[in-house]
């Protein structure tokens, strides 16, 4: 199972080293690149004024944020939600810089760089020379942004999760073809010795599903075989049908 968290923040300004703070955090959980419905979202009191430029982007005012919790009050909850998941962030150095600053103030470990996936870097590699802002990527991939009147951390994380899947090559359904957990093996549904039940096999860690080496016997009644023979007789030049029937006769016993 691959767990990822798509994350976005809004801030009082653009410079964490100059005292700007986080005022909103939004996270969306992905399992095997599919959203699970689990999210983390909070507004924060930054204990300082929001800059005019930042307010124009997200519309979060000092008055609105005045009664919101401080980062210290939600830090443990955030860390628990993130767990050891890979973090998917657009322009990651910006958000990670703010998060690291807040975490370090509380004596908590910084986010490890190797666990962060920067979708801006992915987009620049995939679309060199093109605009790779979140809005531009949404337009390129046909992702609906009609709700995005202003920037919002949770909404942007939800949108980014769709963009991330497109950057990976598009959403594909999982038909259960991935390798089974270690210490188990998958048994094909047509293996009637086990009726598709998983079986313990310490020597088959991560093995592919077991396949039959011989065709499955065809079980037809006498009446069904006679009806099929009558049908074959009505076809002209049906050599392939006759060969198939001969093969079925051989495997019947």
Active site positions, annotated = 151
What sign has the CA pseudo-torsion 89, 94, 98, 101?
Answer: positive
CA distances from 79 to 27, 82, 90, 108, 120 (A): 11, 5, 19, 9, 24
90-95: long-range contacts, CB 8 A cutoff, minimum separation 24 = 90/8, 90/118, 90/119, 90/120, 90/134, 90/156, 90/160, 90/163, 91/118, 91/120, 92/116, 92/117, 92/118, 92/120, 92/121, 93/118, 94/14, 95/7, 95/8, 95/9
Phi, psi of 226 (to 5 degrees): -65, -40
């Amino acid at each position: 199972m691959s767990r990822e968290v798509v994350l976005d923040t809004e801030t009082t300004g653009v410079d964490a080293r100059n005292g700007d703070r986080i005022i909103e955090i939004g996270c969306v959980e992905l399992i095997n690149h599919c959203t699970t419905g689990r999210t983390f979202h909070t507004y924060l009191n930054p204990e300082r004024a929001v800059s005019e430029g930042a307010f124009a982007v997200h519309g979060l005012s000092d008055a609105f944020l005045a009664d919101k919790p401080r980062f210290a009050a939600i830090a443990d909850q955030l860390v628990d939600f993130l767990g050891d998941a890979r973090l998917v962030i657009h322009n990651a150095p910006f958000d990670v810089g703010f998060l690291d600053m807040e975490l370090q103030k509380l004596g908590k470990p910084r986010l490890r760089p190797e666990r962060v996936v920067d979708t801006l870097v992915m987009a620049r590699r995939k679309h060199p020379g093109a605009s790779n802002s979140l809005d531009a990527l949404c337009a390129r991939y046909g992702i609906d942004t009609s709700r995005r009147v202003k920037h919002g951390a949770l909404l942007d994380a939800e949108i980014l999760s769709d963009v991330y899947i497109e950057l990976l090559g598009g959403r594909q359904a999982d038909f259960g073809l991935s390798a089974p957990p270690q210490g188990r093996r998958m048994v094909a549904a047509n293996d009637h010795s086990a009726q598709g039940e998983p079986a313990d096999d310490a020597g088959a860690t991560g093995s592919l599903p077991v396949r039959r080496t011989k065709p499955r016997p065809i079980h037809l009644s006498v009446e069904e075989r006679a009806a099929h023979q009558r049908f074959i007789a009505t076809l002209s030049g049906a050599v392939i049908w006759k060969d198939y029937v001969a093969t079925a006769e051989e495997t019947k016993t």
